[in-house]
Amino acid sequence: AQSVTQPDIHITVSEGASLELRCNYSYGATPYLFWYVQSPGQGLQLLLKYFSGDTLVQGIKGFEAEFKRSQSSFNLRKPSVHWSDAAEYFCAVGANDMRFGAGTRLTVKP
Amino acid sequence: KAGVTQTPRYLIKTRGQQVTLSCSPISGHRSVSWYQQTPGQGLQFLFEYFSETQRNKGNFPGRFSGRQFSNSRSEMNVSTLELGDSALYLCASSRRDRGSKGTEAFFGQGTRLTVV
């Protein structure tokens, strides 16, 4: 069965600092992997996706993620966080029946 | 290009009632999936429809049902509402056709259902 684990429930970083959000997945075949962001009371916005090919994928808003099959990980990174990045971030595996992680809430300190 | 539209945005219902939520996918998208989001259980997959047929179903009781119309619009219905059904219900649409690869889902803003 496919599943996703996001080990960090809440992360606080200072504005301008780098960010890494962790995601581990369990999937029997080559996974489709996604990172979504959700602001309070809103739907989910796709940041980036991995289907195949280059294991380092670039997304919107300066985010990138690296697929590491050996570690079953798909961590999200950003070199310099902006205050507007404060939101909840979800990692997901699958396609049209996605399984989501529990989410990581990001707080940005001024 | 219009995004995924969900109506209504907010809904208050009484225990025991039933409710119908609507989702209009992005033009050209034939797959519609539904998700329930609650603080305790997080985001959970309900079901997916493609070409008016349910393709996948999550682990929810039979009180939760859905359908898809020929124009790809979808509705989900919850009968005999319980307090625990209070949640944000999200709809997502994608282009994926059966057998194809490489798809991504676009989400609507959701319907906030409160059961009292």
pLDDT tens-place string over residues A49-96: 998 888 999 999 999 999 999 999 999 999 999 999 999 999 999 877
As given in the structure block, the two tokens for residue A28 are 């029997």
- Closest residue in chain B to residue A41, using alpha carbons only: B109
Contact B105 A51 (CB under 8 A): no
The span from the CA of B51 to the CA of B32, in Å, is 9
Other Cβ atoms closer than 10 A to A81: 20
SS3 B109: coil
Q: Which residue has the higher pLDDT, B101 or B22?
A: B22
Contact A44 B94 (CB under 8 A): no
- Closest residue in chain A to residue B45, using alpha carbons only: A97
Lowest mean pLDDT among A17-21, A78-82, B27-31, B62-66: B27-31
Q: Which pLDDT value is given to residue B18?
A: 98
Look at residue A42 and tell me whether its pLDDT is greater than 90.
Answer: no
- Closest residue in chain A to residue B88, using alpha carbons only: A41
Mutate to test the interface with B, among A4, A35, A38, A96 (most CBs of B within 10 A): A96
Q: Which pLDDT value is given to residue B97?
A: 61
Q: Which pLDDT value is given to residue B99?
A: 53
Contact B103 A43 (CB under 8 A): no
The span from the CA of B16 to the CA of B82, in Å, is 7
Q: Which pLDDT value is given to residue A31?
A: 83
Q: What angle do CA B18, B16, B73 make, to 5 degrees?
A: 15
- Percent of chain A residues past pLDDT 90, beyond the cut: 78
Q: Which pLDDT value is given to residue A8?
A: 96
DSSP category for residue A64: E
As given in the structure block, the two tokens for residue B67 are 């359908």
pLDDT bucket at B103, cuts 50 / 70 / 90 = confident
Q: Which pLDDT value is given to residue A41?
A: 80
Look at residue A39 and tell me whether its pLDDT is greater than 80.
Answer: yes
Burial class (CB in 10 A: 0-12, 13-18, 19+), B91: buried
Look at residue B101 and tell me whether its pLDDT is greater than 60.
Answer: no
Of the segments A50-59, B22-31, B89-98, which one has the largest average pLDDT value? Answer: B22-31
Q: Which pLDDT value is given to residue A40?
A: 86
Query: Of A50, A46, A19, A47, which is closest to residue A32 (Cα–Cα)?
Result: A50
Give B20's contacts (C-beta < 8 A, 6+ positions apart).
B75, B76, B77
